[in-house]
Amino acid sequence: MSRKEKRVKVKLTAEEKKAKRKAFRGRVGRFLKGLAMEIIGGTLVAIGIYNFAVNANFPVSGFSGISLILYKLFNVPIGLSTIIMNVPVAFLCYKLIGKRFFFSSLRCMLVSSLIIDYLAPLLPTYNGDRLLAAICCGVFSGLGYTLIYMQNSSTGGTDFIIMAIKALKPHIGIGRITFIIDGLIILVGGFLFSDIDGIIYGIIGSYIISLIADKLMYGINSGKMTMIVTDEGRKVCNLIDETCGRGSTIIQAEGGYKGDNREVVLCACSDKEMYGVQKAVKEMDPDSFMIVLESNEVHGEGFRTLHLGEKE
């Protein structure tokens, strides 16, 4: 091997090492970010359950609800009983939820259990109106669960069951699955303690949790879609690109009355961007016909895609 070839080999090796170090730093950064979000999410969930639901004495959802029942009956720590119940369910759902989601959920489960047993008791608890406690429990827990779900993780328990169902039935929203399962647990807890009012407050809290989870997670990818019927399709596409940097598609169409050739421009963007597009298009082509629709989810370049409980 010549000296020149050796220098090239050394250079390539150095570049490979640099790429590996960069990839390693990226993985570490993503891990630390995910862990931070899980800690924040676990803290919010713990506050919702321990600092609002416990003293208000209404049943809550998930394994936390079952743990709360055990806590009231036998004074078993909520976090400890949650971990004990999680182990068999986790292994039963392992094949459906995937390796990465499984291990990240185990980590998050331990973190949230420690927070609810050791950190939450140090914070002040709410002793006021039960309805306000149910609302606050739903808001805090909903935000916490959302932060955790968005890291492709969970707090275990019924989350494993929810994600397993989501894997089998991907068209069903997570919030809807959560509300059905949690509703059953709340009913059991309410009837066990003969507290009808508690069932109502528990369902209110569970509904708020499911509503926040669906709105925040799937609302990230929400936006607007417009269909612009025009004679200047190419100019409209260029204008959209200049206005908000979004891509667009031209569809050849035919007028229903005169049978003349028209073009339909399709574009998906955010609410704020759509306002700019509408204004710019109307100024350029006042004769254009524009339809604006709500888009619950938009996937592709420029929009974030969530992977919840999916195998990787």
Predicted confidence (pLDDT) per residue in 196-219, tens digit: 888 888 888 888 887 887 777 766
The size of the chain, in residues, is 312
145: amino acid identity, one letter: Y
Question: Is the per-residue pLDDT at 97 higher than 90?
Answer: no
Query: Is 223-295 a CATH 3.90.1720.10 domain?
Result: no
Alpha helix (H) ranges present in 50-173? 54-56, 62-74, 78-92, 94-97, 99-114, 130-149, 158-168
To the nearest whole percent, how much of the chain has pLDDT over 70? 82
Most confident of 41-50, 70-79, 269-278: 41-50
- For residues 29-52, give the mean pLDDT: 88
Q: Which long-range contacts (CB under 8 A, 24 or more apart) does 185-188 make?
A: 185/59, 185/61, 185/62, 185/65, 185/66, 185/158, 186/59, 186/60, 186/61, 186/65, 188/59
Residue pair 85/66 in contact (Cβ under 8 Å)? The answer is yes
Please, which residues bridge with residue 228 across strands?
A: 265, 290
How does pLDDT run across 98-119, given as a tens digit for each residue? 677 777 877 888 888 888 888 8
**Residue, of 233 and 21, whose pLDDT is higher:** 233
Calculate the average pLDDT of the chain. Answer: 78
Question: Is the per-residue pLDDT at 235 higher than 80?
Answer: yes
Where are the CATH 3.30.70.120 domain residues in the chain?
Answer: 223-295
10-24, 267-281, 284-298: lowest mean pLDDT where? 10-24
Question: Is the per-residue pLDDT at 53 higher than 80?
Answer: yes
Structure confidence at residue 176 as a pLDDT band (50, 70, 90): confident
CB neighbourhood size of 122 (10 A): 6
Dmax over CA atoms of the chain, in Å, equals 87
The predicted structure's pLDDT at residue 305: 54
11-25, 29-43, 292-306: lowest mean pLDDT where? 292-306
Question: Is the per-residue pLDDT at 7 higher than 60?
Answer: no
